[in-house]
Amino acid sequence: MSRNSSYFKGERFNALAKKEGFRSRAAYKLIQIQKDFKLIKSGDNILDLGSAPGGWSQVASNILNGSGSIIAIDLLPMKKITNVDFHQLDLNDIDKINLREISVVLSDIAPNISGVNIIDDENMIALLEIEISIVDKFLQIGGKYLCKCFEGSSLNFLTNKLKDRFEIIKRIKPDASRSTSKECYILGIKKK
Ligand SMILES: C[S@@+](CC[C@H](N)C(=O)[O-])C[C@H]1O[C@@H](n2cnc3c(N)ncnc32)[C@H](O)[C@@H]1O
């Protein structure tokens, strides 16, 4: 296996996360997106969907540095992070928490992968539908939405839904994503 392979790239980010105190190598995806698109700014009110073990929440908390707020949810437990209000909750039950106006929605949620494309795509789209209803209800005008999907029907679904809702849409494949994975991210900028 070459040292440039997807496996070694993944290992490099795992080692870096351990060294720099991030809970997941996913943190480096958000760090790169922040560098390229200035996604989060001081004072933002952030919703982090599918937050455990907490890499993105750590990055967001570092950027906010005590300003703004972060609400995070996940099916799994997550250890405390400064300035993060965590709820162990299924996305389907998001109505159980009291959401107010949000300036940035982050979602790294992915369903359990079965390996059967049609099932995985359906499960991903079901989660995206809930996310889009959150964006419609709670994301402020001018707000931003960063979201994971898979190349194929969930990417097409998401692009179609977001093109009328945001002024700018970017498709992103961060370096910390394995190149062999179908995962990609869509960033909606300036909600209409
Ligand atoms: C790739 S991980 C997120 C990593 C995280 N962004 C980080 O930086 O550490 C995806 C997360 O989505 C969560 N998840 C999947 N389905 C969910 C659902 N229906 N409701 C809430 N969380 C869900 C999983 O439990 C998992 O922790």
pLDDT-based confidence at residue 8 (cuts at 50, 70, 90): low
Residue 110, ligand 1, Cβ within 6 A: yes
Cβ within 8 Å of residue 149, ≥6 positions away = 124, 128, 155, 157, 158, 183, 184, 185, 186
C-alpha Rg value of the chain to the nearest Å: 16
Residues with catalytic annotation? 148
Q: Output the DSSP codes for 129-174.
A: HHHHHHHHHHEEEEEEEEEEEETTHHHHHHHHHHHTTEEEEEEE--
Residue 1 in domain: no
Identify whether 95 is part of a domain. yes
- Going from the Cα of 40 to the center of ligand 1, the distance in angstroms, rounded, reads 20
Range of the domain at 80: 6-191
Asked whether residue 52 is domain-assigned, the answer is yes
Q: Could you tell me if residue 91 is inside a domain?
A: yes
Q: Is 48 in the pocket of ligand 1 (CB under 6 A)?
A: no
- Percentage of residues of the chain with pLDDT beyond 90: 85
Compute φ and ψ for 164, nearest 5 degrees: -90, -10
Cα gap 150→136, rounded to integer Å? 22
Nearest CA to ligand 1 atom 7: 55
In a domain, residue 124? The reply is yes
In a domain, 23, yes or no: yes
Summary mean pLDDT of the chain: 94
Beta bridge partners of 191: 166
CATH number, domain of 105, equals 3.40.50.150
pLDDT digits (tens, 9 = 90+) for 55-113: 999 999 999 999 999 999 999 999 999 999 999 999 999 999 999 999 999 999 999 98
Our count of domains for the chain comes to: 1
